Amino acid sequence: MAADMQVLRPAGLNERRCIARDVLGLYGSIVTLGTYSTSISEALSKTIIHQALKQCITQHAALCTVVQRADSENPQLARVARIDLGDHVVLLEEQATSRDYPAVAKDILETAHNHALDDYETRPQWRLFTAPLASKTSSEAARHYLIAFASSHALADGMSGLAFHKAFLNALCDVQESPRNDSAIFEPHTSIQLPPPQESVGNFTISWSFLLGSLVREYCPTWLVRTLGIGQNTVDPPTGAKTWTGPSRRPSLPAGAADLVQTAVHVAAVTHDVLQIALGQCRQHDAKLTALLNHLVARALAAALRSRDQTFNRFTSQIAIDLRSCLAAGRDQITNYVSVVEEVIDVSETTGALTERDWRAISETSKKLAQASSTLADQPVGLLKYLSNFRGWTLKNAANQAEASFGMSNLGTFTSSTTTESNWKVENMIFSQSANGPGTPFDVNVASVKGGDLMIVISWWPEMLGVADERTFVEQLSSLVVQQLGVP
């Protein structure tokens, strides 16, 4: 098989970080789940899916790329000479509309996350799960399908999922006008180019103060960090505020990629009307939705823990940021161009409307995110160039207590280039990511479609939340966030 592959380039730094997690079984996949509707009476068959996927592969080289020497500290990326799409498409049973939509989405997401991407070095690490959605009435004109794109995080980030769905939607529209090809085998053209790693596109500069602070936090005990006054955003201050980062011990680590860390998810929908209320409040207070959600999650988390006799008033979040605009590269491409911003939220009240003090903090978070998204200086991913042993570093993080309370990723709004006359449309978009073995106790994943509901997914590693009733706990947390979004 290796003889049939063309080596493209060495894996980039952030790609290596994700590859190390993958081969250790500490991370499964990122998933974007779209609800597609069509006026075409013909059922969505494997033949149609395969033909649409072939068009997607010609646009996105990551879909025909594998990782060689994945277990080493020098992995490289290679293009396969041929790809059997039958290995990548999973047809699920029809989903009943009588069920609650978030519950249907939850089942599909957990299926996708917990279905390990195998043959890491010989098969591109992605799958497409499709499930027809039963018509609500016999006279309903449109057909609906739930289509989930699951991929390794190594060569794709959250925005890559939206890029895939945009390409797949366009391809479905084009398929109706194209000659049918029943073959599941596709041979990618050698001209398909993989985007370069982000450190090759931009100059990630690291200041001495940023480097020193990172080294001290990594290698020195907490008391010394406090004494030096470094990293006060990530440790408990002398005043005694208690930071929640999950249980002191993580669940048992998987034995490897074949023993994948399991993922549980909860899905919630925020109606378009409630979303407009929240966005109106954000505009009044010079704030952005991601920052608002970040603070509401901390507030809800404090309340959910307090109801279980756990009192915490400080939470640290890791907010993913997209670097495409800053890099001036990667737009609508499947690639891994991300970094993270750490933010500390002190919670005083867990009920009632947000105060002006709360809104000032949310506005400051919004400004911090905007600034971080506009520069390559002192980005946490820039520190990866100082790391020589990605595997050892990953295992160390997976063995220690989490450093932050939760992760936050907001993909924003999915938009397509299709017209109102198109035969295919996307009516809903959901984003989710697998449990993160070396990462935060849980992640909050957000996405929407223009004019549609805001979809919120909370994903976690079972036994990682430090409570006995995890699913009830997450449902309570999610419900509190949705309720707060609708408070004017």
One-letter amino acid at 60 equals H
Residue 431, domain member (yes or no) = no
Residue 426, domain member (yes or no) = no
Per cent of the chain over pLDDT 70 is: 91
What pLDDT is recorded for position 475? 98
Residues 229 and 183 in one domain: no
Residues 223 and 352 in one domain: yes
Residues 235 and 175 in one domain: no
Residue 326, domain member (yes or no) = yes
Residues 335-362: tens digit of each pLDDT: 999 999 999 999 987 778 899 999 999 9
- Is the CB of residue 188 less than 8 Å from the CB of residue 83? yes
Residue 471, domain member (yes or no) = yes
Residue 429, domain member (yes or no) = no
Q: Is the dihedral of CA 466, 470, 473, 479 positive or negative?
A: positive
| pLDDT category of residue 229 using cuts at 50, 70 and 90 | low
How far, CA to CA in Å, does 372 sit from each of 32, 377, 385, 445? Answer: 25, 8, 19, 19
Residues 243 and 347 in one domain: yes
The C-alpha atoms of residue 83 and residue 158 are separated, in whole angstroms, by 24
The C-alpha atoms of residue 210 and residue 229 are separated, in whole angstroms, by 13
Asked whether the predicted pLDDT for residue 227 surpasses 80, the reply is no
What pLDDT is recorded for position 232? 46
DSSP E strands: which ranges in 240-361?
264-270, 314-322, 338-346
DSSP E strands: which ranges in 401-481?
406-414, 424-433, 442-449, 454-460
Average the pLDDT over 303-332 and give the result.
96
Q: Which residues contact 85 (CB under 8 A, 6 or more apart)?
A: 49, 50, 53, 54, 184, 185, 186
Average the pLDDT over 434-457 and give the result.
97
Residues 292 and 220 in one domain: yes
Alpha helices by DSSP H, 124-235: 158-175, 198-201, 208-219, 222-228
Average the pLDDT over 216-233 and give the result.
54
Choice between 92 and 175, residue whose per-residue pLDDT is larger: 92
- Structure tokens that stand for 366 in this block: 């919004």
Asked whether the predicted pLDDT for residue 234 surpasses 60, the reply is no
Burial of 279 by CB count in 10 Å (0-12 exposed, 13-18 middle, 19+ buried)?
A: middle
- Structure tokens that stand for 142 in this block: 């449109």
pTM of the model: 0.94
Round the average pLDDT of the chain to a whole number and report it. Answer: 91
- Picking from 141, 175, 199, the residue at the C-terminal end of a domain is 199
| pLDDT category of residue 231 using cuts at 50, 70 and 90 | low
What pLDDT is recorded for position 2? 58
What pLDDT is recorded for position 215? 76
| pLDDT category of residue 141 using cuts at 50, 70 and 90 | low
Residues 40 and 126 in one domain: yes
Spatial CA neighbour of 152 closest among 121, 115, 117, 122:
117
Q: Which domain holds residue 318?
A: 203-416+436-485
458: CATH: 3.30.559.30
How far, CA to CA in Å, does 108 sit from each of 33, 125, 475? Answer: 9, 18, 18
Asked whether the predicted pLDDT for residue 411 surpasses 50, the reply is yes
The C-alpha atoms of residue 403 and residue 234 are separated, in whole angstroms, by 8
Asked whether the predicted pLDDT for residue 51 surpasses 50, the reply is yes
Number of H helices, E strands in the chain: 13, 16
Residues 315 and 460 in one domain: yes
Per cent of the chain over pLDDT 90 is: 79
Residues 273 and 176 in one domain: no
What pLDDT is recorded for position 97? 72
177: CATH: 3.30.559.10
Q: Count of domains in the chain?
A: 2
